Amino acid sequence: MIPPIANRFVAGESPATALDHVRTINDRDVGAIVNLLGEHYDERSTVRADATEYRTLVEDMARSNLEGCISVKPSQLGLDLGEDIFREELEAIVATAAENDAFVWIDMEDHTTTDATLDAYEELAREYPRSPPESGSGVGVCVQANLKRTREDLERLADIPGKVRFVKGAYDEPADIAYTRGERVDQALEALLTYAFEHFEGGIAVGSHDPAILEHAQTLYDEHGTEFEIQMLMGVREDAQYEFAESYDVYQYVPYGGRWKFYFYRRVMERRENLRFALRAVLGR
């Protein structure tokens, strides 16, 4: 059982609790990106189990008429065991999702996985192109502004018929390949978004809680009219999510599953307010 304190950031341990949460946010015009927590598997059976759960999840979401998609991690689908295993599992999930008009996002992990992740994305997005908004199938990938290579990657990504989620980057990377100062990463993200709004035909997602980044995206939208969506995490700036949903497409990243402890720890440690919130809950004040 997940303690109530973690429920702010994690939608329970079972698919049923995750779908309950999806229903709640859908009622307020926010879509869901559901993620079964898990990464760096070294057992084929664990990979297979999560892949099966994802396929069932997209079928259940479609059957329940919920506005949601999924987001998977390459190392959850076996990338540490081999690129062929990752490709095989991902393709099976994307095929099931396409049959159910559901969209599949691929999270981006550390820089050692970037090439394998972008290659898999390109192949699948060409095979299962992003469909018009009224249907919802297709494939998307996340790119990280802290990686210096990302600007060049965008030239390749601009012509692929999928979606791209732009984020600052959650992994500590070596200074020779990544910007390490927060301010420099913010600048890089703004520049990437400017490029995308100028060169992409829609399919842009901004994964950030940063008011300055979100304002930059809104200004670019006003200027270029390129379709975009805002993505934020469950439990972070939820009031802002509901407010944005009045004017833009907003999706909330909804993690769930038995492996919630590490994710919860990361959320609590990344911000002093979250740590205070956790301590207050533990101390009962």
Q: Kindly determine how many residues on this chain lie close enough to bind ligand FAD according to the rule CB under 6 A.
A: 22
Binding of ligand FAD by 236 (CB under 6 A): yes
Q: Which stretch binds ligand FAD (CB under 6 A): 13-21, 54-62, 165-173, 196-204?
A: 165-173
In this complex, which beta carbon is closest to ligand FAD, that of residue 59 or of residue 259? 259
> Are 136 and 101 contacting, i.e. CB atoms less than 8 angstroms apart?
yes
Residue choice 48, 149, 151, 209 for contact with ligand FAD (CB under 6 A): 209
Q: What angle do CA 15, 257, 147 make, to 5 degrees?
A: 115
Binding of ligand FAD by 153 (CB under 6 A): no
Q: Which stretch binds ligand FAD (CB under 6 A): 19-27, 162-170, 172-180, 221-229?
A: 162-170
HSE-CB of 47 using CA atoms within 13 angstroms: 24
Q: How far is the CB of 270 from ligand FAD (least distance, A)?
A: 7
Residue 88 and residue 230: Cα distance in Å, rounded?
30
Whether 210 is catalytic is no
Closest C-alpha to 108, from 153, 157, 142, 147: 142
Task: Mark residues 108-147: x for contact with ligand FAD by CB under 6 A, - for none.
Answer: x---------------------------------x-x---
For residue 146 the two structure tokens come to 């802290």
Binding of ligand FAD by 148 (CB under 6 A): no
Binding of ligand FAD by 10 (CB under 6 A): no
Whether 107 is catalytic is yes
Q: Which of residues 244-273 bind ligand FAD (CB under 6 A)?
A: 253, 271
In this complex, which beta carbon is closest to ligand FAD, that of residue 21 or of residue 168? 168
Closest C-alpha to 147, from 117, 88, 192, 84: 192
User: Looking at 8, 130, 165, 267, which residue is catalytic?
Assistant: 165
Q: Which stretch binds ligand FAD (CB under 6 A): 9-17, 147-155, 215-223, 233-241?
A: 233-241
Residue choice 208, 220, 226, 245 for contact with ligand FAD (CB under 6 A): 208
Q: Is 237 left (phi over 0), alpha (psi -120 to 50) or beta?
A: left
Q: Which stretch binds ligand FAD (CB under 6 A): 90-98, 113-121, 227-235, 242-250?
A: 227-235
Three-state SS for 69? strand
> Are 228 and 217 contacting, i.e. CB atoms less than 8 angstroms apart?
yes
Residue choice 127, 198, 201, 210 for contact with ligand FAD (CB under 6 A): 210
- What is the DSSP secondary-structure string of 25-45? HHTTT-EEEEEE-------HH
Three-state SS for 11? coil
Buried b (16+ CB within 10 A) or exposed e, 167-190: bbbeeebeeeebbeeeeebbebbb
HSE-CB of 16 using CA atoms within 13 angstroms: 0
Give the active site residues: 107, 165
Q: Which residues of the chain form contacts with ligand FAD (CB under 6 A)?
A: 107-108, 142, 144, 167-171, 207-211, 213, 231-233, 236-237, 253, 271
